[in-house]
């Protein structure tokens, strides 16, 4: 019996026994037929939980039900909870779930057959705060705190720290990032509610903590205070939560090692709290912190093709990878970019008087880490005793992951791609005292992505074939019906290079199907591509302004104006003084002197919501990034009233001071 199990409180089922008395003040028998199992209503709780604290009365009632059943068993009565059964629900009814490719790639629907999480498990999110009124989050939140104390970054008009962790926005180009809100939605958005998206865990509680302010930046000290609060350790607020977090997600970091932070992480881990952190978005093997610290699970990012994302950090400190997405392509052909969609806010309009609660795409290791934190919260739901050591042990033994790259651990993928089903089963087996191989699943051929969209400009992409079960699987045949348009290069299981030849095609849209036959099953992958009219543009999003920006003030230092050249915008900054800079690019359709307004192209290196600061010490030629247009899905609920400041970066050629 587990408190995380789904059962009817104050009820029990009794096996026939002469020890059962028709009149017993401990319970009321619903049927007088003692020849079969009987449903009883528990009248009183003899064993009370006065020495224990619970997050709500419902959990306490469930605990007392189990304690009363145990007492009946001690008296020789065969009693059991009245468990709730249900149809297997692998597909939630959330309206935007069809865009959440990131769930199927880590076998989340299969994990939901075993658990959808528990409200008794809490994930803390030290970040930009959370939009507390977002309809897909407001019922999932426990009390948090705002630790942004710097007058240069706080933005919420409340001088100093306070008990309101709501995200006031961070004045990034194109509108605020609402980064913490996006992270929270990935972990535990309200699910199966016919609204928005589904979270990794449907029932996990979220502790919102604001530690990042203007520009999505914050200080080590403020972040440390938020972590201490989450762990129930002394902190500057002078208070601690009634119940410390079980898991802390850190979708943030920097390049400087701090011995003080390492000591804090060790203290948090010693309290049994599991820490998950993003590896960073610099496409480097240089350690970033806190992800590279001992006591922390470091998470890298993969794209929809299960390849290491172009921005993801890697190296010998990397533990695991999870979906981080890419907002540039639409490989699966669903009409939206292959980023990670989650809860957001929209304050990007100059004239908007209402903050819109919305949903949008983001990409980065910041999106990958909460997938892992959410899955660990599912593991805690089936195994409340799960410790950081348990997670490390299961992870290193491959019981939480699907292996990618070189066999075993490697520096690109760590121990592999997080797998929700394997992780939940492993945690459950551990709770039941079992340490045996996971149940053998039959071999199953899986293609990823499930469909291919070459669009207008793409000429090649990767199709991955893998065995998501056990046992032998053999590829017998691969064919397509494209009449020579497609070339499929590969053999057996693994990555196939799919190449398209448009040379002999006229203007129009073309479809085909790649059919892969194995000794177990047949998989069909739909393909779509377009050929443009010769007069059409080739990846042209209009005149772009590429800016070298001072990160503290967001003032432009240099500007390049450029047109598209074969789908790309080329740039070069000369005579740059030594220092730290951000590189931003975008269009200025309304010619107001600012790029990245709503409806304008926008991008920063390395991702729009996580601009990477570049140190100008030597020449670099690896600064590639994409610009794109925001895709907002508005919630049915209206947000709070706001006075929206002008967003974006000021152009140097028509310079205005950024309105703050």
Torsion over CA: 349, 355, 359, 363 (sign): positive
Among 130-134, 137-141, 150-154, 431-435, the minimum mean pLDDT is found in: 150-154
Residue 4, classified by CB atoms within 10 Å of its CB into exposed (0-12), middle (13-18) or buried (19+), is: buried
Q: Has 347 been annotated as catalytic?
A: no
Determine the 3-state secondary structure of 113 from DSSP: coil
Give percent of the chain with pLDDT exceeding 70.
Answer: 85
Mean pLDDT score of the chain, rounded to an integer? 86
Domain ranges of the chain: 7-83, 101-336+363-431, 445-531, 544-650
Query: Residue 657: is its pLDDT beyond 50?
Result: no
pLDDT digits (tens, 9 = 90+) for 246-304: 999 999 999 889 999 999 999 999 999 999 999 999 999 999 999 999 999 999 999 99
Closest to 106 (Cα-Cα) out of 497, 373, 358, 380: 373
Q: What is the mean pLDDT of residues 71-94?
A: 80
pLDDT category of residue 20 using cuts at 50, 70 and 90: low
DSSP-assigned letters across all residues of 542-608: --EEEEEE-TTT--EEEEEEE--BTTB------SPPSSEEEEEEE--TT-SSEES-TTS-EEESEET
Query: Residue 535: is its pLDDT beyond 60?
Result: no
Q: What is the mean pLDDT of residues 132-152?
A: 90
Distances 634 to 188, 210, 281, 358, 626 between C-alpha atoms, Å: 19, 24, 28, 4, 24
Query: Residue 451: is its pLDDT beyond 90?
Result: no
Query: Residue 46: is its pLDDT beyond 60?
Result: no
Determine the 3-state secondary structure of 235 from DSSP: coil
Q: Return d(Cα 486, Cα 13) in angstroms, integer.
A: 62
User: Any idea which fold 445-531 has?
Assistant: Immunoglobulin-like (2.60.40)
Adjacent-strand bridge partners of 466: 446
Closest to 519 (Cα-Cα) out of 465, 489, 477, 481: 477
Distances 173 to 63, 271, 541, 600, 646 between C-alpha atoms, Å: 49, 39, 17, 11, 9
pLDDT digits (tens, 9 = 90+) for 345-401: 988 765 445 788 999 999 999 999 999 999 999 999 999 999 999 999 999 999 999
Adjacent-strand bridge partners of 461: 498
Query: Residue 99: is its pLDDT beyond 80?
Result: yes
Query: Residue 658: is its pLDDT beyond 50?
Result: no
Choose, from 94, 127, 222, 330, the residue flagged as catalytic. 127
User: Any idea which fold 101-336+363-431 has?
Assistant: Rossmann fold (3.40.50)
pLDDT for residue 76:
83
The answer to pTM > 0.75 is no
Sheet holding 79-83, edge to edge: 27-29, 38-42, 7-14, 79-83
Residue 506, classified by CB atoms within 10 Å of its CB into exposed (0-12), middle (13-18) or buried (19+), is: exposed
Adjacent-strand bridge partners of 447: 465
15 against 253, higher pLDDT: 253
Q: Return d(Cα 531, Cα 347) in angstroms, integer.
A: 37
Residue 579, classified by CB atoms within 10 Å of its CB into exposed (0-12), middle (13-18) or buried (19+), is: middle
Which residues are within 8 A (CB) of 33 and not within 5 positions of it... i.e. 6 or more apart?
none
605 against 398, higher pLDDT: 398
Q: Has 134 been annotated as catalytic?
A: no
Query: Residue 638: is its pLDDT beyond 80?
Result: no
pLDDT digits (tens, 9 = 90+) for 484-501: 999 998 889 988 999 999
- The token duo for 310 is 């172009």
What residue has token string 């709290």? Answer: 273
Choose, from 251, 358, 366, 587, the residue flagged as catalytic. 366
Q: Has 179 been annotated as catalytic?
A: yes
Choose, from 2, 179, 182, 402, the residue flagged as catalytic. 179
Which residues are within 8 A (CB) of 410 and not within 5 positions of it... i.e. 6 or more apart?
none
Give percent of the chain with pLDDT exceeding 90.
Answer: 50
pLDDT category of residue 637 using cuts at 50, 70 and 90: very low
Query: Residue 185: is its pLDDT beyond 50?
Result: yes
Domains 101-336+363-431 and 445-531 share a fold: no
pLDDT for residue 659:
30
Query: Residue 647: is its pLDDT beyond 60?
Result: no
Query: Residue 6: is its pLDDT beyond 50?
Result: yes
Angle subtended by helix axes 365-382 and 420-431, to nearest 10: 30
Closest to 209 (Cα-Cα) out of 272, 153, 142, 156: 142
Q: Return d(Cα 429, Cα 651) in angstroms, integer.
A: 59
């Amino acid at each position: 019996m587990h408190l995380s199990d789904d059962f009817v409180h104050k009820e029990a089922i009794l096996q026939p026994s002469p020890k059962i008395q028709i009149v017993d003040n401990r319970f009321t028998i619903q049927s007088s037929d003692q020849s079969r199992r009987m449903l009883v209503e528990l009248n009183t709780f003899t064993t009370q939980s006065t020495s224990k604290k619970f997050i709500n009365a419902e959990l306490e009632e469930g605990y007392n039900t189990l304690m009363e059943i145990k007492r009946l068993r001690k008296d020789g009565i065969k009693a059991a909870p009245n468990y709730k059964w249900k149809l297997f629900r692998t597909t939630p009814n959330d309206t935007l779930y069809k865009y959440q490719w990131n769930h199927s790639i880590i076998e989340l629907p299969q994990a939901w057959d075993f658990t959808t999480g528990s409200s008794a498990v809490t994930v803390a999110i030290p970040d930009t705060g959370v939009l507390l009124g977002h309809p897909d989050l407001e019922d999932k939140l426990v009390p948090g705190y705002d630790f942004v104390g710097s007058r240069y970054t706080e933005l919420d008009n409340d001088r100093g720290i306070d008990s309101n962790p709501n995200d006031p926005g961070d004045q990034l180009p194109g509108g605020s990032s609402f980064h913490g809100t996006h992270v929270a939605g990935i972990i535990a958005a309200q699910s199966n509610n016919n609204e928005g998206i589904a979270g990794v865990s449907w029932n996990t509680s979220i502790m919102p903590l604001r530690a990042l302010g203007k520009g999505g930046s914050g200080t080590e000290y403020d972040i440390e205070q938020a972590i201490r609060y989450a762990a129930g350790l002394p902190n500057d607020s002078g208070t601690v939560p009634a119940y410390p977090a079980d898991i802390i997600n850190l979708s943030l970091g920097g390049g400087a090692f701090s011995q003080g932070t390492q000591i804090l992480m060790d203290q948090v881990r010693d309290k049994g709290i599991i820490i998950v952190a993003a590896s960073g978005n610099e496409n480097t093997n240089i350690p970033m912190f806190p992800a590279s610290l001992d006591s922390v699970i470091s998470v890298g990012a993969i794209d929809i093709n299960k390849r290491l994302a172009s921005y993801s950090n890697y190296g010998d400190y990397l533990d695991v990878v999870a979906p981080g997405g890419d907002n540039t392509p639409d490989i699966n052909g669903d009409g939206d970019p292959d980023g990670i969609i989650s809860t957001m806010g929209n304050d990007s309009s100059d004239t908007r008087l209402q903050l819109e609660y919305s949903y949008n795409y983001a990409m980065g290791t910041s999106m990958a880490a909460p997938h892992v934190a959410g899955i660990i919260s599912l593991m805690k739901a089936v195994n409340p005793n799960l410790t950081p050591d348990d997670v490390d042990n299961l992870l290193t033994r491959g019981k939480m992951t699907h292996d990618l790259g070189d066999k075993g651990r490697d520096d690109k993928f760590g121990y592999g791609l997080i797998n929700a089903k394997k992780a939940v089963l492993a945690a459950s087996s551990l709770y039941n005292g079992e340490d045996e191989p996971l149940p053998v699943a039959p071999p199953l051929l899986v293609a990823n992505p499930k469909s291919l969209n070459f669009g207008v400009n793409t000429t090649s992409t990767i199709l991955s074939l893998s065995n998501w079960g056990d046992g032998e699987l053999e590829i017998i045949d691969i064919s397509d019906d494209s009449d020579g348009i497609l070339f499929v290069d590969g053999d057996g299981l693994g990555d196939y290079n799919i190449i398209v030849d448009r040379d002999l095609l006229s203007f129009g849209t073309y479809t085909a199907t790649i059919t892969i036959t194995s000794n177990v099953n047949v998989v069909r992958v739909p393909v779509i591509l377009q050929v443009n009219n010769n007069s059409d543009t080739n990846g042209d999003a209009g005149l772009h302004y590429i800016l070298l920006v001072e990160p503290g003030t967001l003032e432009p230092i240099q500007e390049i104006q450029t047109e598209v050249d074969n789908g790309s915008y080329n740039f070069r900054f000369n005579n740059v003084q030594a220092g730290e800079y951000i590189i931003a690019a975008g269009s200025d359709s309304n010619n107001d002197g600012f790029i990245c307004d709503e409806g304008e192209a926008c991008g920063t290196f390395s991702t729009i919501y996580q601009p990477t600061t570049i140190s100008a010490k030597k020449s670099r030629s690896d600064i590639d990034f994409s610009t794109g247009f925001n895709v907002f899905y508005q919630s049915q609920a209206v947000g709070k009233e706001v006075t929206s400041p002008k967003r974006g970066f000021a152009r140097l050629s028509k310079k205005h001071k950024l309105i703050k």
